[in-house]
A = this chain, B = another copy of it.
Amino acid sequence: MRADRTDAIFSALADPTRRQVIRALSEQGPSTATGLAANLPVTRQAVTKHLITLADAGLVTSTRRGREKLYQISPRPLTDAVSWMADLGARWDDRLAALRDHVLTPKRRR
C-alpha cells in the first residue's frame, strides 16, 4: 500500500504557492530557491520549505553545483495521482476511462 505516497503527492499539490513553484520550474528549467523566490511573492525560506515538501513527495530533485543548489522537476510521481483520479472517475466519464488505460499501460521507453 502506498497510501502515504498518494498522500504526499496530493498534499504537495494542494498548496497554490507550491503549484506556482512547480510551474516556474517547469517553464524556466532547473533553478535555485533564491532564483525562484525572485519571481514569487514569498521569501526564499518559504520557497525552500516548499521545495523540501516537493522533494519529499518525489516531485522535485536537487543537485549541488558549487555553492548553489539546483532544483528540477521529476514528474513521474504525478502518474500515481493521475491514476488515482482516473481510476475513480472511470465509472462515470469515458475520457477518464481512456486515461486510466493509458496510465496502466507499461512504459514505452525511457
| Residue positions of A touching B, CB distance < 8 A | 3, 6-7, 10-11, 13-14, 16, 19, 22-23, 26, 73-76, 78-79, 81-82, 84-86, 88-89, 91-96, 98-99, 102-103, 105, 107-110
Contacts and interface: CB of A to CB of B under 8 A. Distances in A.
Contacts of A75: 88-89, 91-93, 96
SS of A interface (majority): helix
Contacts of A109: 94
Contacts of A94: 107-110
Contacts of A79: 89, 93, 95-96
A102 B93 contact: no
**Copies of this protein chain in the complex:** 2
A11 B14 CA distance: 5
Contacts of A84: 19
Given A75-B88, A93-B76, A14 B13 contact: yes
